[in-house]
């Protein structure tokens, strides 16, 4: 089973694990780690923002220095976000407001100062690291992109070309029946276009087309 990164959540990962599904659900940063997308036309961030690597840690004082040499002090020793355990550091508001590099450091127009979350471990029930490792594996890189060719054209045809972009009935049973009718229309069109060649290897499809 494959799903896009919006479905990468502790609840969904636990459910897939309970159902023993061979799932491939990437995290929101998986494209940044894909070496194939670092070429022209691949993933390019809107702006090069500062990351944890751009901040220097002072072990004696347990403080961080930002690229402008301003101090971020420890605010929270241990906090958990999305199954990851962090130590949180915070900068002085006055230093951030007048900083020339604020746009590269603080996300959002209303942000007043920089918070720095430093990962120090994972919660015992966090399944995200194993899923990330699975997605980044050679097998994962081969399997996951297939959903783009298999699933997305169906949604595009049903929702955009056929304009069946909403359900007009209520209740799970009625909505399911309506969705099956949508699928029937999609499949009938495929049969009309491809006929008996559906399911055949590409080479045999070309032979049938030339015979016509």
- The share of the chain scoring above pLDDT 70, in percent, equals 86
The pLDDT of residue 31 is: 85
Rounded to an integer, the average pLDDT of 112-122 is: 88
Q: At what angle do helices 128-136 and 10-18 cross, to 10 degrees?
A: 80
Enumerate residues 6+ apart whose C-beta is below 8 A from 25: 2, 3, 4, 5, 7, 8, 12, 13, 16, 131, 135
Could you report the per-residue pLDDT of 185-206, keeping only the tens digit for each?
999 998 888 876 655 665 555 5
Name the β-bridge partners of 119: 86
Rounded to an integer, the average pLDDT of 70-84 is: 86
CA 32 to chain centre: 10
Contact 116, 57 (CB under 8 A): no
Could you report the per-residue pLDDT of 44-67, keeping only the tens digit for each?
555 688 889 999 999 999 999 999
Contact 77, 97 (CB under 8 A): no
The pLDDT of residue 194 is: 81
The pLDDT of residue 173 is: 96
The pLDDT of residue 81 is: 78
- In angstroms, the CA 53 to CA 32 distance is 16
CB burial of residue 186 (10 Å; 0-12, 13-18, 19+): middle
């Amino acid at each position: 089973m494959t799903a896009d990164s919006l479905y990468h959540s502790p609840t969904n990962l636990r459910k897939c694990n309970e159902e023993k599904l061979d799932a491939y659900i990437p995290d929101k940063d998986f494209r940044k780690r894909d070496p194939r997308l670092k070429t022209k036309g691949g993933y390019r961030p809107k702006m090069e923002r500062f990351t944890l690597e751009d901040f220097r840690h002072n072990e004696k004082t347990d403080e961080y220095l930002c690229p402008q040499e301003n101090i971020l002090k420890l605010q929270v020793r241990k906090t958990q976000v999305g199954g990851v355990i962090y130590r949180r550091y915070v900068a002085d508001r006055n230093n951030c407001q007048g900083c020339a590099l604020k746009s590269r450091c603080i996300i959002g127009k209303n942000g007043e100062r920089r918070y720095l979350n430093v990962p120090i471990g994972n919660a015992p029930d966090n399944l995200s690291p194993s899923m990330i490792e699975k997605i980044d594996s050679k097998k994962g890189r081969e399997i996951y992109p297939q959903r783009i060719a298999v699933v997305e054209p169906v949604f595009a045809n049903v929702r955009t070309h056929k304009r069946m972009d909403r359900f007009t009935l209520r209740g799970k049973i009625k909505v399911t029946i309506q969705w099956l009718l949508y699928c029937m229309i999609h499949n009938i069109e495929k049969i009309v276009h491809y006929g008996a060649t559906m399911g055949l290897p590409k080479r045999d499809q070309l032979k049938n087309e030339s015979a016509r």
